[in-house]
Amino acid sequence: MAAGSGVLIYATGHEGRGIGLMNKLRAYLEQQRGADTVDANHLLGLPADARDYGDAADVVRALGIRSVRLLTNNPAKAAGLRQHGISIEEVVRLRTVAHRRNADYLATKVARMGHVGGGDMHEPSTGTFVDPTALIGDVQPTARRPAVVVKLAQSLDGRIATHTGDSQWISSEPERVMSHALRAACDAVVVGAGTVVRDDPRLTVRAVAGASPTRVVLDSRLRAPVTSHMFNDEGSTLVLTTDASGPEKRTALRSLGVAVEILPTDDGRIDIDAGLARLRELGMAVVLVEGGATLVTTLLRACVVDRLIVSTAPILLGSGVDAVGDLGIQSVGNGLRLQNRVVTQVGDDVVVAGDLVAQG
């Protein structure tokens, strides 16, 4: 880069006097007890932010750079660099989807430290804002499994595909953008083998600014082709299978960089409890299940779904693939109902989200 040319930089500054590694640890522990990032520092007798950005300014000057475009959501960074003699041509926002792990942190930065955002709600083409963390709700993992959020996109008559298997696209484009935002807010997106075979999805985050979660495929016999998109791109993929799968197929997947783990079986299928327990062991707190109908039905029957998000498109398909199979419910009074509901319109679709509770 030629000296004096405009560059885009991300300035971290330095921590300032008195804020070292041990104080960072103490502040973290205070946050674990319920304090936000500002109060945690104040409780320790520390300022909310002691950075002065002098080191960053020194580096810029040492490189012979005369002006910069600054990538930040923190106006104090721009002010700090200018105070140290750096000319800033433009401040560029960092736009991303808030993950539920950092949503409160980012909100505190905005409310109490003057930041201009960063954990943005995504904006479909209708101009309607939808916060993915609001749709996911306050679900919490347990010691034995992550919180499970099931997301469905269906027609008015409850179909996720026609009788020929066609499902592209039941939902509107803004609703699909919302789905990407939901992925970015979770630790993993989970599907069954049938979804990979039928739709060959990527399950990455592309329509919004955010990180792609780990993709998890439940495939007891490794039916999904090794040529599937999920196994041949730069995303992270984990396949949970059983010892009924062929060792040659496992080797082929692992050679592609796909993680493959063998789990116990339940009536010839992957034991759901064992699968969820393994995801929790891997550090996953919230997982998003995107299908298909067999997997969703299995999870509902096992009573391990914490939150349900259903997008309903204004279209009738008649006979086709049901969104949910038989749950063994004999009376309406024993049906599953949603509490703590969120209802909104995204594009042409009506989205209903809520916590699942059993009745009766």
Which residues does 146 contact at the CB level (< 8 Å), separation at least 6?
A: 187, 188, 276, 279, 280, 284, 285, 286, 287
Among residues 93, 137, 139, the alpha carbon closest in space to that of 119 is found at 93
Q: Which two tokens stand for residue 21?
A: 């590694």
Q: What is the mean pLDDT of residues 143-162?
A: 92
Q: What is the mean pLDDT of residues 240-255?
A: 94
Q: How far apart are CA 202 and CA 224, in angstroms?
A: 13
- Domain 7-120 matches domain 132-358 at the CATH topology level: no
- pTM reported for the whole predicted model: 0.74
Q: Give the pLDDT confidence score for residue 279 in this predicted structure.
A: 96
Q: How far apart are CA 38 and CA 147, in angstroms?
A: 28
Give the model's confidence band at 124: pLDDT under 50 very low, under 70 low, under 90 confident, else very high.
very low
Q: Give the pLDDT confidence score for residue 97 in this predicted structure.
A: 67
CATH superfamily of 7-120: GTP cyclohydrolase II (3.40.50.10990)
Task: Enter the DSSP assignment of 121.
Answer: P
| Candidate from 82-96, 192-206, 273-287, 294-308 with smallest mean pLDDT | 82-96
**Which pLDDT tens digit goes with each residue over 157-202?**
888 888 887 777 888 888 898 999 999 999 999 999 999 998 899 9
Q: Give the pLDDT confidence score for residue 1 in this predicted structure.
A: 37
CA angle 208, 213, 218 (to 5 degrees): 130
Each domain of the chain, given as residue ranges in start order, spans 7-120, 132-358
Q: How far apart are CA 72 and CA 81, in angstroms?
A: 12
**Which pLDDT tens digit goes with each residue over 44-70?**
777 777 777 888 888 988 998 888 888
Overall size of the chain counted in residues: 360
CATH superfamily of 132-358: Dihydrofolate Reductase, subunit A (3.40.430.10)
- The 3-state secondary structure of 264-323, one letter per residue: CEECCEECHHHHHHHHHHCCCCEEEEEECHHHHHHHHHCCCCCEEEEEECCCCCCCEEEC
Phi and psi (nearest 5°) for 14?
Answer: -125, 170
